[in-house]
Amino acid sequence: MPKKRCYYEIMGLAMDATDEDIKRAYRQLALSLHPDKNPDNQEMANNEFKVLQEAYEVLSDPRERKWYDKHRDAILCGQDRDDIVDKEVDVYPYCSSFCYQSFSDDANGFYTVYRNLFKTIADEDLPFRDSDDKDYEEIPEFGNSKTPYSDVHQFYSYWMSYCTAKTYSYFDKYNILDAPNRRVARLIEKENKKIRDAARKKRNEEIRSLVEYVRKRDKRVAENRRKLEAKAEENKRKSEMIRKQQIEARNKELENYQESEWTSMAALEDNLKEIEQHLDDEHNKKKKSKKSRKLVDNTDTIEDMNGENEDEDDNEYEDNLYCIACDKAFKSDKAFANHENSKKHKTNIAFLRQQLESDDQLIDNSGDS
């Protein structure tokens, strides 16, 4: 078996080479090793160019490069890349109460067991995490029984939406370097990606199920929930007390309320009756002297009978010929008598009475409440 060659050596790079260094080295070597540039030894050029492409495919991908750096020694010792499988902690046994003995910080206690477990999972992802990535964030720790709930909340917020950083490239079913053309290479890449995504999804679901199991049994979460419920109950009690105080204060104001004379609906109605009685008396007096009066002008008489004359002339209106309901004055007893028999006057009188009765009822209801 031929000895494996380091990808960094193939490209003439150091292990701390930047992405720009990798691109620059690939362009230079591709020009010199391309089969078209070596017509005298095309077989050697084909092999070297394929190895160069393989090295570039790995080192140009940040996650692939991290995986290669992690397993570089095993690969160079002759272990096949497809046989290298990243070990993952099996989380299934930890979804049981048998994995801890008590809710304490002892060696076999709830908080110690799960603190070590989540640290192991985080360490498995660490080689594949890019600290230069803008989405990179510090992984919160599980803590102990005395950890403040703000830190506990931060821990569960992160782990309940956990996404593994592993590439699962060892699950690839096909080698893209064996593709005879670009079309087949794209199909191979698509198929391999589907397999990797399925493995990544399975791992994410396993960890999230574990986090949900632990959260339901975490005494720190239960204690915080009790505090929130007690606080909500206290706020409810205070709100109810304030509401009762407001009702009592309103009732007290109503008890101490003294109706002003000018706001009394009963007094207003009595005044209205007095005015109507006064107008009736005046009307009767004028009616007795009606025979001694001259006939009024025909035009004025017709307009007064219709109740629609709104034009003023030089004659003065009688002070006592005034309708308070219609807010209108008249020149003669006949015009005033015709107006009283009109439909408009009767409608206004009925409306005014109804409004006064409605307001009086509203005041009575306010006093009862």
Q: What pLDDT score does 299 carry?
A: 43
Helical (H) or strand (E) element with 263: none
Q: What is the pLDDT of residues 227-262, one digit of tens each?
A: 999 999 999 999 999 999 899 888 888 777 655 444
Pinpoint the alpha helices (H) of 40-163.
42-59, 62-76, 110-125, 149-159
Per-residue pLDDT at 211 = 94
Can you tell me the distance from the alpha carbon of 110 to that of 145, in angstroms, rounded to the nearest whole number? 9
Q: Which two tokens stand for residue 368?
A: 């009862």
Query: Considering the chain, what percentage of its residues have pLDDT values greater than 90?
Result: 22
Nearby residues of 342 by Cβ (< 8 Å), 6 or more positions away = 307
Burial category of 115 from C-beta neighbours within 10 Å (exposed 0-12, middle 13-18, buried 19 and up)? middle
DSSP code, position 329: E
Residues 137-147 have pLDDT tens digits of 688 999 999 99
Question: Token pair of 322, please?
Answer: 């005034």
Mean pLDDT of 97-104: 88
Check whether 334 has a pLDDT greater than 70. Answer: yes
What pLDDT, on the 0 to 100 scale, is given for residue 153?
Answer: 94
The dihedrals phi and psi of 322, each to the nearest 5 degrees, come to -140, 130
End-to-end Cα separation, the chain, in angstroms: 101
Q: Is 231 helix (H, G, I), strand (E, B) or coil?
A: helix
Q: Is the pLDDT assigned to residue 1 strictly greater than 50?
A: no
Length of the chain: 369
**Residue 308 reports pLDDT greater than 50:** no
Check pLDDT > 60 for residue 300: no
Instruction: Output the CA torsion 285→291→296→302 (10° steps).
Output: 80
Map out the domains of the chain with their CATH numbers. Answer: 7-83 (1.10.287.110), 92-217 (no CATH), 265-368 (no CATH)
Q: How many CB atoms lie within 10 A of CB 180?
A: 7
**Pairwise CA distance, residues 33 & 52, whole Å:** 9
What value does the mean pLDDT take over residues 122-128? 82
Which one, of 179, 199, 202, lies nearest residue 189 by Cα? Answer: 179
Q: What is the DSSP string of 242-295?
A: HHHHHHHHHHHHHHH----GGG-HHHHHHHHHHHHHHHHHHHHHHHHTGGGSPP
The model's confidence at residue 368, banded by pLDDT at 50, 70 and 90, is low
